[in-house]
Structure 1
Amino acid sequence: MKYRKLGHSGTAVSELALGTMYFADETSEKEAFAILDGFTEAGGNLIDTSNVYVNGKSEEVVGRWLAARSGEVADRVVLTTKGRFSASPDVNDAGLSRRNLQRSLDGSLKRLGVERVDLYQLHASDMETPVEETLRFLDEAVRGGKIHYVGLSNFTGWQLQLMMSSAKAMGVAVPVSIQSQYSLLSREIEWEIVPAALHNSVSLLPWSPLAGGFLAGKYARGGEPDAGMRAGSDKALYRYVSGEYAGSDRNWATINKVVSIAREIGATPAQVALRWLADRPAVAAPVCGARTMEQLRDNLGMTEITLSEEQTRSLEDVSRPVPGGYPYGAFGQWQRARWMQDGSPAPEQVIMQGSDHPLG
């Protein structure tokens, strides 16, 4: 396992992060413990969760694992969680206000059973709350020892720059990372977000690096996904991923290229897709939400392969981004709707009620 600095911080993180969105839901606690053990035994140290993953139960599972592995293993973990959304119907239990972030952070610390988290990420933007209010709270949390670093997630390029410039002007804690959707099938962040991240020495922590499993090479064009596969689920997230990717000639051409290169080098398609992504500018660690030990072992294999310049170039050529994707498609539409006040659902309603626009 190789390690990279997290943004402009002095903390090193493994080149692969473990996502825990499915812990306590599709992944039992026993299997989650085995996955966490396998990840850390392989040298992985960056573990990602959120206060809204399975309504906080994911954090509880991670917390019980940390308690059971107290000592050297737990001390090596670079722990990250997120705040912004909530399962509560209360009007103030969402957004980036001081009130909501305080409650969210305290709740996460309690569920995780820790006094602090290494990286606290804002799960999405909130243009109804002054950025100064959000940034001051985060700085106080850093000074108070509740978090070590500040991160962002699902921010557009200009929103990232707004947070960075405002934090520097205020003399408060400056974000070190941004978690965005990024994969061979979703490269639109390269237009603005990646340049902004590079300019500000901010690390990318890509979510959905395998495009909901499509880049694992398990799907056939025109076929029906197996019920055990993500695209075969009847959940909103999987319907969204399936509908977003399956209808594009470009995406199928990309998958075919990934499969071809995997055969050339004796790897799996998932390993090729992850290796390509991990080698992209500004990327610190793709966040892989392994649901099983088999998936984890497959994902970890990316640390043992390399891609030639020719192979990398061929993947980039076939997967060039096209207008209309994240964050300018569905994700951008609800943001514009909020600004235009046209009655479209707020992002927290999208998350909690289920829709065609889920966030990672």
Structure 2
Amino acid sequence: MEYTHLGRSGLQVSRLCLGTMNFGQETDEVDSHAIMDAALDYGINYFDTANVYGDRGGTEKILGNWFATGGERRERTVLATKVYSDMGDWPNDCRLSALNIRRALDASLKRLKTDYIDIYQFHHIDRQTPWDEIWQAMETAVAQGKILYVGSSNFAGWHIATAQAEAHRRNFTGLVSEQSLYNLLTRDIELEVIPAVEASGLGLIPWSPLSGGLLGGVLGRQHKGKRRVEDRLTKALAAHRDAIEQYEKLAADLGHEPGEIGLAWLLHQPAVTAPIIGPRTGDQLDAAVRALDVRLDAEALSRLDEIFPGRKTAPEHYAW
């Protein structure tokens, strides 16, 4: 396994991040524990979850039960979870108020059966709460030893810049990572988020690296009769069928599965720290790990850019 620093921090994480959103929904607890054990065996030390996953806390409980089995599972894991989403029916059960951050953090710690979280992440920007309040709450959590680092998810470039400026004004470290939707088909963050991430020294953690399965060899499986295209992919496949056909042909020419190419492309992007993989089975985990050995030369990268055109840095993408 390859490791790298998470942004400008001293924290070292694996080049793949194990996403746990399927645990408790698509994958039962026994199989979820087996996948996490296999991930550690592969050397994946970076696990991502959120308080809302698994019907408001179910996924965190699965991780907590896994940590409780011992074997230094918690000590070997860089644990990231998130706060923001609605966790109840009362007004202060969501977003980034100091009250909700305090309550949500304590609830996550209890479900996860741990006394600290390595990376506590804002799941979304909160436009109604001032940064002074948010950063004060995070400073308190750090001082209490409940969290070590702070990350963001689904932030725009200017949100990252503002968050960092406000943190620096308080002599606080601020953000060390940003999770964004990023894959060959969805490259909008190349306009402003990636420049902001690079300028601020944040690690970039792409989610949905295979566009919900669209870049995972959907046509090949369809042709082989191994599965029917899921309803949620039908419309997207119709809109991108020509590009997907070219992509799967290129993968075959390169001697790799399409999913391996999609992950490998992200690993070749300088700003990317670790794509989030979300295996539902052990076989899917094995397939994702194989992407670490895929090397794409300049010709292959250029061909992928032809199939899936990217974005130039703003404002040059749309102005001079």
Structure 1 and Structure 2 fold alike (TM over 0.5): yes
Moved more, 188-197 or 279-288: 279-288
1:210 CA drift (Å): 0.6
Name the aligned partner's letter for residue 43 of structure 2. G
Map 1:165-180 onto structure 2 (within 5 A). Answer: 165-180=165-180
Does structure 2 retain, via aligned residues, the 8 Å contact 1:257–1:315? Answer: no
Letter of the aligned partner of 2:272 in structure 1? Answer: V
Alignment of 1:56-95 (within 5 A): 56-71=57-72, 73-95=73-95
Confirm whether residue 246 of structure 1 aligns to residue 247 of structure 2: no
With normalisation by structure 2, the TM-score equals: 0.91
In structure 1, C-alpha distance between the alignment counterparts of 2:295 and 2:4, rounded to whole Å: 17
C-alpha deviation, 1:282, in angstroms:
1.4
Alignment-derived partner of residue 123 in structure 2: 123
Tell me how many residue pairs correspond in the alignment.
310
Name the amino acid aligned to 1:80. A
Distance 1:279 1:88 in 2: 41
* C-alpha contact (below 8 Å) 2:4/2:15 kept by paired residues: yes
Task: Please give the TM-score of this superposition, normalised by the length of structure 1.
Answer: 0.82
Q: SS at 2:214's partner residue?
A: helix
Letter in 2 for 1:252: R
Where 1:121 maps in the other structure, the secondary structure is strand
Q: Distance in 2 between matches of 1:2 and 1:80?
A: 19
Deviation at 1:74, TM superposition (A): 2.9
Contact 1:275–1:307, Cα closer than 8 Å, also in 2: yes
Q: How much identity, in percent, do the aligned residues show?
A: 38
Q: Are the equivalent residues in 1 in contact too, given 2:183–2:208 (CA < 8 A)?
A: yes
Q: Residue in 2 aligned with 1:7?
A: 7
1:75–1:112: structure 2 CA closer, same or farther, 3 Å change rule?
same
Q: Which position in structure 2 is the counterpart of 1:358?
A: none
Match of 1:269 in 2: 258
Deviations 1:218-263 (A, max 9, x none): 247999x98886x34xxxxxx3x654x3242xx3344234322322
Give the C-alpha shift of residue 94 in structure 1: 1.1
Partners of 1:227 and 1:170 in 2: CA distance: 54
d(CA) in 1 for partners of 2:226, 2:126: 38
**Alpha carbons 1:98, 1:133 under 8 Å: kept:** yes
Give the C-alpha shift of residue 264 in structure 1: 2.6
Q: Which residue in the other structure is 1:329 paired with? A: none
- Secondary structure of residue in 2 paired with 1:102: helix
Match of 1:103 in 2: 103
Are the aligned partners of 2:81 and 2:120 in contact in 1 as well (CA < 8 Å)? yes
Gap regions ≥5 residues in structure 2:
313-320
Residues 142 and 253 of structure 1: CA distance in aligned 2, closer, same or farther (over 3 Å):
farther
With over 3 angstroms needed to count, the CA separation of the structure-2 counterparts of 1:263 and 1:194, relative to structure 1, is same
Separation of aligned partners in 2, 1:262 and 1:96: 43
Q: Secondary structure at the match of 1:152?
A: strand
Give the structure 1 partner of residue 50 of structure 2: 50
Deviations 1:287-306 (A, max 9, x none): 01111111111111111111
Residue equivalent to 1:138: 138
Aligned to 2:210: 210
Partner of 1:16: 16
Distance 1:221 1:252, change over 3 A: farther
Query: For the Cα contact (< 8 Å) 1:48–1:81, is it kept in 2?
Result: yes
> In the alignment, what sits opposite 1:319?
308
Aligned residue in 2 for 1:286:
275
Aligned to 2:318: none
In the alignment, the residues of structure 2 paired with residue 80 and residue 242 of structure 1 have an alpha-carbon distance, to the nearest angstrom, of 33
What amino acid does structure 2 have at the position aligned with 1:94? C
Q: Assess if the C-alpha contact under 8 Å between 1:51 and 1:86 holds in 2.
A: no
